[in-house]
Structure 1
Amino acid sequence: MTLHAGAPMPEQLRHWMRAKAHPARSVPCPHCGAAAHKPCRLRTRNGFKTEPHPQRISEWAKTTACCPACQVEPGIDCHDDGWARATVHARRYQEAEETAA
């Protein structure tokens, strides 16, 4: 009996199957440690969340979009008058969603 790996999935099919998932799943979750393209995990039990953690959505917006509010490039934290923010500006979320669409 010969074991072999199946054919690789075409990129169009992979995109169609992931289209229902939130685009923030493309980055690892800093809150629960879920890998990219995997759902966020619940810490209290062995379950999964249907939506990503807010920290993951913030990280996704930071890595994919420029911030119109504080004029920083993707990958750089948002700031208020030179002080780094824990989350990104709301306008950066909108920019990231427009980029993903």
Structure 2
Amino acid sequence: MTTSRYGQPAPMPDSIRHFMRAGQHPARATACPHCGAAPHKPCRIPSRGVVMAQVHQQRIAARARTIACCPTCTVEPTIPCHTNGRALENGSVHAARYTEADRSAA
């Protein structure tokens, strides 16, 4: 039997808990498609499992794709960005969508 020193954390809505996590990149609220890190967990180097201080670019793009509309190609959240009808490579998003994601989160 294991015991926890502090017991269960206080009940708190996820929306408030997210903003209480000072110093973390907002993209950590989503899972990382590159290394498979769970939401609110740090990214790791997949080959060695070493924890990284930063988040993967793919995770930042996934966050932008999930929460923001793209002003460049006029797609809604969760729809991949495209150029001339073709999705951008590796799940990338337009630079304007990053800006829109940061604006909508503030």
Fold-level similarity (TM above 0.5): yes
Change (3 A) 1:39 1:14: same
Name 1:35's counterpart in structure 2. 38
Change (3 A) 1:13 1:76: closer
Structure 1's consecutive aligned runs of 4 or more residues displaced over 4 angstroms after TM superposition are 11-14
Gaps in structure 2 of 5+ consecutive residues: none
Gaps in structure 1 of 5+ consecutive residues: none
1:14-67 CA deviation, whole Å, 9 max, x = no partner? Answer: 632x13101101111010000011110122434211111000000000001000
Aligned length: 98
Are the equivalent residues in 1 in contact too, given 2:18–2:29 (CA < 8 A)? no
Q: Percent identity?
A: 48
CA distance in 1, matches of 2:31, 2:9: 26
Name 1:69's counterpart in structure 2. 72
Name 2:93's counterpart in structure 1. 88
TM-score normalized by the length of structure 1: 0.85
**Aligned partner of 1:95: which letter?**
E
Q: What value does the CA root-mean-square deviation take over the aligned residues?
A: 2.0
Residue 66 of structure 2 aligns to a residue whose secondary structure is: helix
CA distance in 1, matches of 2:44, 2:33: 11
